[in-house]
Chain A
Amino acid sequence: MKKQFLKLYSWVDDRVQFEDLIKFFSKKYVPVHRHSIWYYFGGVSVFLFIIQVVTGILLLFYYKGSADLAYESIQFIMSKVQFGWLVRSIHAWSANLFIFSLFIHMFSVYFEKSYRKPREMTWFSGMLMLFLALFFGFSGYLLPWNQLAFFATKVGTDIAGAIPVIGEPIKIFLRGGDDVTGATLSRFFGFHVALLPGIFTILLGLHLILVQRQGMSEPLETKESKMVPLKKMPFFPNFFLRDLLLWLLVLNLLAVLAVFFPAELGLKADLFGVAPAGIKPEWYFLFMFQTLKYFPSHIVLFEGEIVGILLFSIAGILWLLVPFWDRKSSRGQRNLKINYLGIFAVIFIIVLTTLGWLS
């Protein structure tokens, strides 16, 4: 048996040169220091993305993306399809964990200043993937075509529509008309299963190639303190096996969440119904939603909501462009202002999300 396997391996190796690949990964090293733990969240995010793709494909076998059939098809998946409930619940939970993991990964990169030269492109591709993941979540939320999803999409696209000049065309484009209808569902389905995965996969490929080319970034402080040289861990098998261990832990967590807190379906969307009381967006949009509530109706000549959206847009663009305006870090100097700003952002997101959750 072993002989047969080695023969087969040798046959494949002759054609794709596995040995080169193994040698490449064996020579790749990961720095070991007190912040090494954060390296793993990139891998966890990739793992969760893979789960998303696999469970998403399985759901596609039964899901029907039309206003008449979407809700019923999910109902069918949840009650009749073997393990359909598990696949959907894992898809829903891994989506949430994926975004959570991306946030951790993004903030760890930010606090480590790993975006500094020469990794600006890695940062951009990562940030773009974070935005795409948020849009993934927003588009996927509507697909069950239930009451909550319907009204959350209505509110969400209304907020997008409030942006001056470009807001209205964006809203019409997203909705496929003036209102949230079956046309919105069709295009959200298209975004969710074709457009977004396509773009995301290209960006992920680029991101991983860049990581391979540039290696893992070392924290600034270890470089600057000129301490004893850092220990290094071979990527394969040491780091890879640790990654695998964490993935298994995440898989366990997903299984527990899916069984004890299966994804709910709620009531079918009623286009002429009344919005359920206390409607809220998904948790990752909650801090923005809650902040907009605190804005007064008018600030000088502008509507408070528009000012809020503009401020969030500016903050997002500034965050994206941090490698360009944080010159000190690029020069290898400590920049505490960046840390303070990051801490403020984290506290702001946690506090506003909590307030939104409790309200």
Chain B
Amino acid sequence: MKNIFRICIIFLFLYFFSASEGYAAGDMCFSCHSDMGSAPAGLFKNDIHHLAGLSCSDCHGGDNKSEDMDEAMDKKKGFIGIPKGNQISDICSRCHSDASFISKYNKHLSTDQLTLLKNSVHGKLSLNGTDRIVQCITCHNAHGIVSVKNSQSPVYPTNIPQTCNKCHGNAAFMKSYNPEIAVDQLQKYRTSEHGILNAKGDPKPAQCVSCHGSHNILSAKDVRSSVYATNIPKTCSTCHSNKQYMEQYGIPTDQYDKYIASAHGKALLEKDDLSAPTCNNCHGNHGAVPPGITSISKVCGTCHVLNADLFSGSPHKQVFDEKNYPECVTCHGKHDIASVTDNLLGTGAGAVCSKCHSQSENVKGYLVAAQMKQWLDSLTNRENLASSLIFEAEQKGMEVEEEKFELRSIHQAKIETRTIVHSFNKDKFKEVVDKGFASSKDVIASAQGAIDEYYFRRIGLGVSVLIISFLIVILFFYIRKIEKQNPLKD
């Protein structure tokens, strides 16, 4: 029994020993190149493919059993040497696009990488007209490939920014494809919350592929891209609306829900207005951070230029800075910015001015807000009056195209009040309102004139018909008279 046990131990030892040395012993390519101290062979030693039993010849061709170098690397035996261009990805896809083969190793591994790559911006671009600018090895390396879950992998989340930067940070290289493209993404990324955490080794914060995708990267101008303007809110919400995922960071997860209900969200997502801001327009994209309190008006001011300028020169700027109020956000909110209405101004229930100004507190502002609102209401009433008079004149069949055009001037003045209000200056506000009042005076007079003209026409018609009818009657009796005096003859 003891002997049998010894024999078994020796047998198992021999079996494992022969098995572990089997590749080296059986794969002559690896054996020789390792002996030669070749760097690729050195890297290949720990390559996931090598560990799974693949040989150099599986990619490079040739006979890995032959000890004769010429025979092993004979082209007749399929030796191709170093694969070039698209040949590289085609070799990878021989196995990685074969679902039945790959499932033997990893049932969850997808097999559409090459298809996605071919349709991606990296697959469509080419310098020589045939070869894609990116092959599998560009990101995954060639001989030292490890699992993407391995922190040594160039496509492990914390390594991805650096991997992408190999090309995207190289201005000389990138300008061959697109001279306009920025090459400072990594630099910006490292200033972002995402980048800072990523640099600390946290794999969860977004890095390049989190937003752009991996094999299927499309141009940001492509409507199918995950970073196309209308898709960005959804892309960001993948993480930011996931309570469980975001839990450890202690930030809200309702931004997406608020955004889609906001004026900006509706403009972008419902009206397809690409000028409306999405997440990255305020937070930045590669350098994404929440804007600081003092820089909010600058961020909003990239679009709302006049409002920001007026605010910066207004008395509110200093007070807000002193009290640490987040400028625009104080009155308008942030992700849930609602469409502006006249009721935001004034001292009524929905007025934002009332947050700080009341009859007992900050009274001067209270009075100014009340006065501004009164003027604005007055302008609105005049606009409504002009509009109804034009409608009435039109209903009466009068030509009022010019008045309809002029009506826009009143509305334009109203829109301008929404800008000038950010100066919080009563006189400047009055100046704009007066422009609207002047236009409304002309339009109302003109539309009323058209209605008066309508009645004048009818009165004129009545008088004309009366005169003509009178002439007809006179003529009728005159004819009767002359024919009575001189009867018709045969």
Contacts and interface: CB of A to CB of B under 8 A. Distances in A.
Contacts of B476: 245
B52 interface: no
B188 to A, nearest CB: 46
Interface in B441-490: 457-458, 460-461, 464-465, 468-469, 471-472, 475-476, 478-479, 482-483, 488-490
Contact of A231 (B458, B475, B479, B488): B488
Interface in B22-64: none
* Most chain B beta carbons < 10 A, residue from A232, A242, A245, A249: A245
B399 interface: yes
Given A238-B482, A241-B478, A256-B461, A233 B488 contact: yes
Contacts, number: 59
A230 interface: yes
Interface in A214-263: 228-233, 237-238, 241-242, 244-245, 248-249, 251-252, 255-256, 259, 262
A231 B483 CA distance: 13
A23 B49 CA distance: 127
B397 interface: yes
B402 interface: yes
Contact of A252 (B401, B469, B475): B469
Given A242-B479, A252-B465, A75 B399 contact: yes
Contacts of B479: 238, 241-242, 245
B31 to A, nearest CB: 76
A85 B399 CA distance: 9
A357 B253 CA distance: 64
A47 B7 CA distance: 135
Contacts of B401: 75, 79
B399 to A, nearest CB: 4
Give the interface size class of chain B: 20 to 34
Contacts of A233: 488
A86 B453 CA distance: 12
Contacts of A242: 479
Contact of A255 (B461, B482, B489): B461
B475 A244 contact: yes
Nearest to A244: B475
Given A78-B399, A238-B483, A245 B472 contact: yes
A251 B488 contact: no
B399 A265 contact: yes
Contacts of A265: 399
Contact of B490 (A79, A228, A237, A255): A228
A286 to B, nearest CB: 24
Contacts of B489: 231-232
The DSSP consensus for interface residues of chain B is helix
Given A75-B401, A85-B399, A255-B464, A229 B478 contact: no
A230 to B, nearest CB: 7
A20 B86 CA distance: 110
B478 A248 contact: no
Main secondary structure of the interface of A (DSSP, over half): helix
A271 interface: no
A355 interface: no
Contacts of B464: 252, 255
Nearest to B490: A229
Contacts of B478: 241
B21 to A, nearest CB: 81
A256 B397 CA distance: 15
A228 B490 CA distance: 9
Given A79-B399, A241-B475, A242-B479, A251 B490 contact: no
Contacts of B471: 248
Contacts of B400: 79
Interface string A70-97: 0000010011000001100000000000
B400 to A, nearest CB: 8
Q: Chain A CB within 10 Å — which of B402, B460, B479 has the most?
A: B479
A245 B475 contact: yes
Contact of B465 (A32, A241, A255): A255
B404 to A, nearest CB: 11
Nearest to B450: A79
Nearest to B475: A245
Nearest to A74: B399
A232 B468 contact: no
Interface in A281-318: none
Given A241-B479, A252-B468, A255-B464, A230 B399 contact: no
Nearest to A265: B399
Contacts of A228: 490
14 contacts: A32-B488, A231-B489, A237-B482, A238-B488, A241-B475, A241-B478, A241-B479, A242-B479, A245-B472, A245-B476, A255-B461, A256-B465, A259-B457, A265-B399
- Please list the 5 inter-chain residue pairs (A to B) with the smallest Cβ-Cβ separation, ordered nearest first: A79-B399, A259-B461, A229-B490, A78-B399, A231-B488
Given A245-B476, A252-B465, A252-B468, 11 more contacts: A75-B399, A79-B402, A231-B490, A233-B488, A238-B483, A241-B479, A245-B475, A248-B475, A251-B468, A255-B464, A259-B460
